[in-house]
Amino acid sequence: MMNRSALLFLLLAMVFPLRSTVAQCTTSNATSCQCPDGTSDCDLLPDITLSWYGILNYLNGPNEQDGRIYLTGSTPNIGHGPLEIRGVDLNGYRRFVCGTDTFTVYDPNAQQQFACPNGGMAKQLTTQRIYHKNGQTMTSTERLMPQGMTYHPTHGHTHFDQWGIYSLRMQEQGVSDPRQWPIINEGYKLGFCLMDYNSCSDGAVTNHCMDDNTVYNAGTNMTAPNFPNYGLGGGNYGCGMIKQGISSGYTDIYSEYLDGMWIDIPSSTCNGDYWIIYEVDPLNVVREEDEENNWTAVPITLSQQGTSDPAIARITSDDQAYRCPEQQVRLNANAGLSYLWSTGETTSSIVAGPGTYTVEVTSYCGAATSAPFTVTELTRPDAPIAAGAIVCEGASAELIVSAADPVWYDVVGNVVGTDAQFITPPLYANTTYFVADQATVDGTIVHGGKPDDSGGGVFHAGDQYMLFDANAAFTLSSVQVYAGSAAMRTFEVVSAVGVLQATRSVYVPAGASRVTLDFDIEPGLNYRLMVVGTTDLWRSFGGVIYPYQVGNVATITGSTSGSGYYYYFYDWEVEIGGGSCESELTPVTVSVEVCTGVAEAMPLRGLEVYPNPNNGQFVVSLHLLAETPVQLTLFDALGKQVYSENSRAPSGNWKHPMDLEGLPKGLYTLNIDLAGRRFPRRVVIQ
């Protein structure tokens, strides 16, 4: 019996007999392949799009139920080359990542099953095979994908992580890009496999393969004659460990009846007009001709939801709302038809400095005003006082600042020191450094989660994880774990739509230990806290009672194995608020003198005044090549001489103490005269 692909090819050959040269545009013969720019030497890249027509019409369009929308995603490849993802590289190797370890396996036929040592989830490092035309010759190279694919040996294939992300949104007037409209909720799809599900000439997908799918109800439909390299890739990609993909002029389809093809609708959403925004390869893992057309937006009218649910209004911020004076943070309102902030602004989000704010949100459920949201002001210290220095070329300067927590910067903003004393590298030209003071405020520490490993349990080797909601932004500082063995372990936070938010790899000893994470968590639902690679950590199945509150910022809602299990992460330590403010920068200039001449050598090799600022007691330090008379004269800020002395400094390092404690506080100028030269230096008496 002829299979689906062979029958389709035969039908296309009958319909398009003039395209006999297609046979000479294959992955081994580039004779008739065309380059996008009209040349004969180019990479033949895919261009994956997302069909608005497919969302609205395939299987009669989105299937709305109370609390959920099911939808279909059709992803045509309208590029000049195939999307080909390889689990086996050109040399027959497969690569797997378990935490911090990478394992390379020679397995050209992808027949071996792989398991991480000590259990845990494996990621497979895959490659994108890119075909290159050079005249009649077709070659290929392999590009390591910047993100691994989840490996499921029992399914016989890998999963393309974050293949698609879809969201229900409210249109915002004045915002032209639908991807910037306020989100009500999101869903996402792991690509079980990428395959040639339909040809763009198949009547079942008429109007799926538009030349522009980003604009709803627009674009021109494309069939085989519209693709210069139609069928490049073979038209027979399917589920497999060796390769997956979408040929040029073909589309892959994930139907609404497949797992994960839905968006959960919050109970506070009332019937009305909304939009579905769907983006494929949202993290731009695939190299394509066009990285900006992987999305579409379609309208949808909800009719199966509530009609009298209470209206809600709330303010969130992706960052903790603690700011220095004059600094700002973005505040977001929940999705609505219109917004009115206490500042008078009418957008879904605003940028605000320290202060207290509210917002009125009008939705299909009515209007509501949020609780007050405060952006807390942190203390900014005064700019520190520091004086410059004069050195001979090739010498280093010692710069001293009076600051509680100084930070030194070079002229391009790199941090070069964090102590009160900063010694410059050897200098050969006048150089300016900058120094600031910092004021740090510790946040509030709260604890939550199951406090310890009491009750029944076992050391577990697997890929389960905890689920939690973040009601506000916070820092997950650390967790307590109980390990059955010592090993490097990788801890991750993944969002509800499968996007990695934070990761840290640390050595965990056997037994009980506290793991520092310092993960910054944004507000959101259904986060996953997990270990990838080696697990062998304690899992409780006794004394587990969900939910666990973590202050007022987080709720641990459950685990992937249900409410009877608690995985790995005990006694969460969370920091709320706090932060640091940096003062304005104080410039500190080092003047570099040429201390030798053609006719006469200058006896000075180094000059410093320290400490500076001081209380009137300081040291003048000179490095002289010969015994030299030195005159020291001090002037106040008005130019009045307040002190003078003459000394004879010996050769070598001369450190001359000065005691002027009786002088008023202020800024002074110290002139140092020797060998016919004058070296002025600022002195600050506090």
Query: For 531-551, how does the pLDDT look when each residue is reduced to its tens digit (9 = 90+)?
Result: 987 889 999 999 999 999 999
pTM of the complete model: 0.78
Confidence at residue 618, expressed as pLDDT on a 0 to 100 scale: 92
DSSP category for residue 665: S
Residue 561 structure tokens: 């194995």
What stretches in the chain show pLDDT beneath 70?
Answer: 1-23, 118-120, 148, 151-157, 192, 594-606
CA angle 616, 387, 612 (to 5 degrees): 30
In which region does residue 568 sit, left (phi positive, over 0), alpha (psi from -120 to 50) or beta (all else)? left
pLDDT of residue 153: 60
Answer yes or no: are the C-beta atoms of 104 and 235 closer than 8 Å. Answer: no
Decide: 434 and 409 in contact? Cβ < 8 Å. Answer: yes
CB atoms within 10 A of CB 677: 12
What is the location of CATH 2.60.120.820 in the chain?
444-576
Could you tell me the two tokens for 309?
């649910």
Fold exhibited by the domain 594-686: Immunoglobulin-like (2.60.40)
Distances (CA, A) of 425 to 286, 398, 429, 541, 656: 45, 10, 12, 60, 25
Question: What are phi and psi for residue 179, nearest 5 degrees?
Answer: -70, -10
Identify the pLDDT of residue 21: 38
How many C-beta atoms surround the C-beta of residue 362 within 10 A? 15
Question: Do residues 500 and 527 lie in contact, with contact meaning Cβ atoms separated by under 8 Å?
Answer: no
| 8 A C-beta contact, residue 574 and residue 476 | yes
Closest Cα partner for 49 from 88, 76, 16, 23?
A: 76
Provide CB contacts within 8 A for 391, sequence distance 6+. 397, 427, 590, 591, 592, 593, 606, 607
* Residue labelled with tokens 């909304």: 274
Q: b vs e for 169-203, b when ≥16 Cβ sit within 10 Å of the residue's Cβ?
A: bbebeeeeebeebbbbbbbbbbbbbbbbbbbbbbe
pLDDT of residue 595: 65
Fold classification of 444-576 (topology level): Jelly Rolls (2.60.120)
Which residue is associated with the tokens 């793991």? Answer: 515
pLDDT of residue 555: 97
d(CA 160, CA 419): 48
Every domain range in the chain assigned CATH 2.60.40.2550: 594-686
Owner of token pair 């799918």: 213
Q: In the numeric block, which tokens belong to residue 598?
A: 């053609």
Cα 118 to Cα 97: distance, rounded to the nearest angstrom: 13
Q: In this structure, what is the dihedral angle of CA atoms 436, 437, 442, 443, given to the nearest 10 degrees? A: -40
